[in-house]
Amino acid sequence: MIEQVVDGVRWIPGRDRFMPDSHMYVIGKSDAQEYTLIDCGLMEMGAYKIEELEQGNIPLSQVKRIIMTHTHVDHIGCLSEILTAIPHCEVWMHESEAEYLERGDDRIVFGNKMFDSMIRSQYSIPKDFFKTKVHRKLQGNETLDLGGLQFQVISIPGHSIGSIGLFNSEHRMFMSGDTIYADGAIGRYDLYSADAGKLKQSLDLIAGLSADILLPCHNRIVKSGANKMIRNTVAQWAPLLE
Ligand SMILES: [Zn+2]
Ligand SMILES: [Zn+2]
């Protein structure tokens, strides 16, 4: 069920199968009549998310863009389903992952050879399935006005080369993608384009935000008091990322 986090931010939980399915977030106050989606999910997981948008009274005609926190298959797998339902929807992501997708290079999407063959055996994925036009290439540090809420784009490479987070200072709310989760977990750092050293720097940066609300792309969300949990998680992982 689509659920409100704060005024202007809603959450559609992912539905994990044999693979995890990313949550989708929806940004935009209803009076702004302009919505932004954050991430979509695994293949075949677009239809129920579109239904949830409709049930949440979000007119698809007012969905202007989807911003990808990064382009792993559990986040971008149903992008084509979303774009079929919302053909005018722009795709925004960090420039260093846009480069890959625009030339049809899916090494970041799958992360390694094992996932590539495992996932291809489960789903029929045509050639160039993930090749996508990217309408806006983010670099980090942009401030975006998304349907009446301000978000700062924060470049947090490490889980993947172009991972980004979105920070809203009004609510001290951080959308962390797969870089940090609730309850002491962080994103894996062994996949293609990952980098443990950069992940450590990114986690330090996140700890410095003093976020109160943490909205990761998997597992539970933290609606208040996230700061202490984030600091503990970062401290606990630091020695393993040296
Ligand atoms: Zn990921
Ligand atoms: Zn993920």
Query: Whose structure tokens read 């977030």?
Result: 25
Q: What is the mean pLDDT of residues 148-163?
A: 98
Residue 128 burial class via C-beta count within 10 angstroms: exposed 0-12, middle 13-18, buried 19 and up: exposed
Task: Specify the number of domains making up the chain.
Answer: 1
Q: Cα of 217 to ligand 2 centre, how many Å?
A: 6
Query: Whose structure tokens read 């609606």?
Result: 223
Given a cut of 90, whether residue 14 has pLDDT beyond it is yes
Which pLDDT band holds residue 100 (cuts at 50, 70, 90)?
Answer: very high
pLDDT confidence of residue 195: 98
Write the CATH number for 68: 3.60.15.10
Q: Cα of 144 to ligand 2 centre, how many Å?
A: 23
Which pLDDT band holds residue 82 (cuts at 50, 70, 90)?
Answer: very high
> Whose atoms come closest to the Cα of 71: which ligand?
1
Residue 164 burial class via C-beta count within 10 angstroms: exposed 0-12, middle 13-18, buried 19 and up: buried
Q: What is the mean pLDDT of residues 38-60?
A: 97
Give pLDDT tens digits for 201-212: 999 999 999 999
Q: Cα of 97 to ligand 2 centre, how many Å?
A: 15
Which pLDDT band holds residue 23 (cuts at 50, 70, 90)?
Answer: very high
Q: Cα of 69 to ligand 2 centre, how many Å?
A: 9
Q: Cα of 217 to ligand 1 centre, how many Å?
A: 9
Give pLDDT tens digits for 123-145: 989 999 999 999 999 999 999 99
Dihedral of CA atoms 68, 74, 77, 78 in degrees, nearest 10, equals -80
Q: What is the mean pLDDT of residues 146-172?
A: 98
Which pLDDT band holds residue 18 (cuts at 50, 70, 90)?
Answer: confident
Which pLDDT band holds residue 172 (cuts at 50, 70, 90)?
Answer: very high
Q: Cα of 159 to ligand 2 centre, how many Å?
A: 10
Q: Cα of 108 to ligand 1 centre, how many Å?
A: 9
Which pLDDT band holds residue 17 (cuts at 50, 70, 90)?
Answer: confident
Q: How far apart are CA 126 and CA 148, in angstroms?
A: 38
Question: What whole-number percentage of the chain has pLDDT above 90?
Answer: 97
Given a cut of 90, whether residue 29 has pLDDT beyond it is yes
176: domain range? 3-241
pLDDT confidence of residue 210: 98
Q: Cα of 70 to ligand 1 centre, how many Å?
A: 7
Q: Cα of 27 to ligand 2 centre, how many Å?
A: 19
Q: Cα of 149 to ligand 1 centre, how many Å?
A: 25
Q: Cα of 195 to ligand 1 centre, how many Å?
A: 13
Q: What is the mean pLDDT of the chain?
A: 97
Q: Cα of 31 to ligand 2 centre, how many Å?
A: 31
Q: Cα of 23 to ligand 2 centre, how many Å?
A: 9
Q: What is the mean pLDDT of residues 149-177?
A: 98
Given a cut of 90, whether residue 166 has pLDDT beyond it is yes
Q: Cα of 43 to ligand 1 centre, how many Å?
A: 15
